């Protein structure tokens, strides 16, 4: 029953009670008047005065009863109005929460659609490592809190890449559960190219030999920083056990491809190919300004290049001993 129906029903009940009270008082007054006349208490000449007195008393008591009933009705109406106001406020609050959740979801999906549109429009791109990390940032920012992220990095000596990668990795670990695998060049690693014997000409280009030495130094620095990130004292403070699982392995091999691979929650690869350069093609360069971007879904040609990266990383990972991890 609605509020208006309840008010009408109570008004009818009050009117019926008042009418019944009037009839009861009238008949009671008439009975008393006859009784008083029979007993001689009231004379015939006094009948009008007695009737006026009874009517006055009836009106007085009726007004008292109506006043009490009206106050009770007002209290009930006020209570009903307060209950209705509370229900309206609860509905409005629930509607606002639902609207905010829908708006947030639509914003996230709009960001993903925009990124997909940009990817399809631009296709593959060549960029520097710094530009690659800038390109990745909005994709990482669109992730849900605590969303699992899996990253593989196939590095050279990491002397240039680590300073670019470290801030992005730390920022990601503040909101997501990150699994990070790193392969880094180093003389301590195992691989297809053995270390030269004393007096033997190196089988690797001189630049690669320098990368091997630099990789051993950088690996110790990177291990210390990743250990810090993965503990409660790092950027993931307040999250038990940290927000990073990592593993590092060193490899000793002729480097061909290097870069970043995102396995989940989306597919992406930013990698460069090392190359021979110089007038006599005697200098082996790491191709630092030529990172290729591949974002899934991609063409068959781009997916084949991504598989090439995965195969190179997987082979080096399986043929080199574990160095450090958590």
The reported pLDDT for the residue numbered 257 is: 92
Q: Distance between CA 61 and CA 58 in Å, rounded?
A: 5
Burial-class residue 155 by CB neighbours within 10 Å (0-12, 13-18, 19+). buried
The reported pLDDT for the residue numbered 278 is: 85
Summarize pLDDT for 40-56 with one digit per residue, the tens: 665 555 556 656 666 66
Q: How confident is the model at residue 240 (pLDDT cuts 50, 70, 90)?
A: very low
Summarize pLDDT for 133-184 with one digit per residue, the tens: 999 889 888 888 888 999 999 999 998 899 999 999 998 888 888 999 999 9
What are the residue boundaries of the structural domains of the chain, listed by start?
Answer: 3-97, 125-325
The reply to whether CATH 3.40.640.10 applies to domain 125-325 is no
What is the average pLDDT score of the chain?
76
Q: How confident is the model at residue 201 (pLDDT cuts 50, 70, 90)?
A: low
Q: How confident is the model at residue 8 (pLDDT cuts 50, 70, 90)?
A: low
């Amino acid at each position: 029953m609605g509020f208006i129906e309840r008010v009408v029903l109570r008004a009818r009940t009050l009117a019926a009670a008042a009418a019944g009270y009037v009839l009861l008082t009238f008949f009671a007054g008439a009975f008393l008047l006859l009784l008083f006349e029979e007993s001689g208490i009231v004379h015939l000449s006094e009948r009008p005065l007695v009737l006026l007195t009874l009517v006055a008393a009836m009106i007085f008591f009726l007004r008292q009863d109506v006043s009490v009933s009206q106050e009770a009705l007002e209290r009930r109406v006020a209570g009903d109005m307060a209950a209705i106001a509370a229900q309206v406020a609860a509905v409005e609050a629930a509607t606002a929460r639902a609207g905010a959740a829908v708006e947030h979801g639509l914003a996230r999906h709009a960001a993903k659609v925009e990124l997909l549109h940009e990817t399809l429009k631009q296709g593959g791109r060549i960029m520097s490592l710094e530009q690659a990390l800038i390109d990745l940032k909005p994709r990482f920012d669109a992730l849900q809190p605590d969303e699992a992220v899996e990253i593989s990095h196939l590095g050279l000596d990491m002397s240039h890449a680590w300073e670019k990668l470290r801030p992005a990795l730390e920022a990601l670990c503040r909101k997501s559960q990150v699994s990070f695998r790193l392969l880094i060049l180093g003389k301590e690693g195992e691989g297809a190219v053995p270390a030269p014997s004393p007096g033997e000409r190196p089988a690797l280009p001189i630049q690669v030999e320098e990368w091997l030495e630099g990789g051993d130094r950088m690996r110790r620095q990177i291990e210390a920083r990743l250990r810090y990130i993965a503990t409660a004292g790092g950027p993931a403070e307040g999250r038990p056990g940290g927000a990073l699982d990592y593993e590092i392995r060193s490899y000793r091999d002729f480097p061909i491809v290097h870069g970043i691979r995102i396995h989940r929650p989306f597919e992406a690869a930013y990698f460069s190919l090392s190359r021979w350069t110089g007038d006599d093609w005697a200098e082996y360069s790491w191709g630092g300004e030529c990172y290729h971007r591949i974002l899934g879904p991609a063409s068959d040609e781009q997916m084949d290049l991504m598989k090439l990266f995965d195969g190179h990383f997987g082979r080096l990972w399986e043929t080199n001993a574990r160095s450090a991890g958590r």
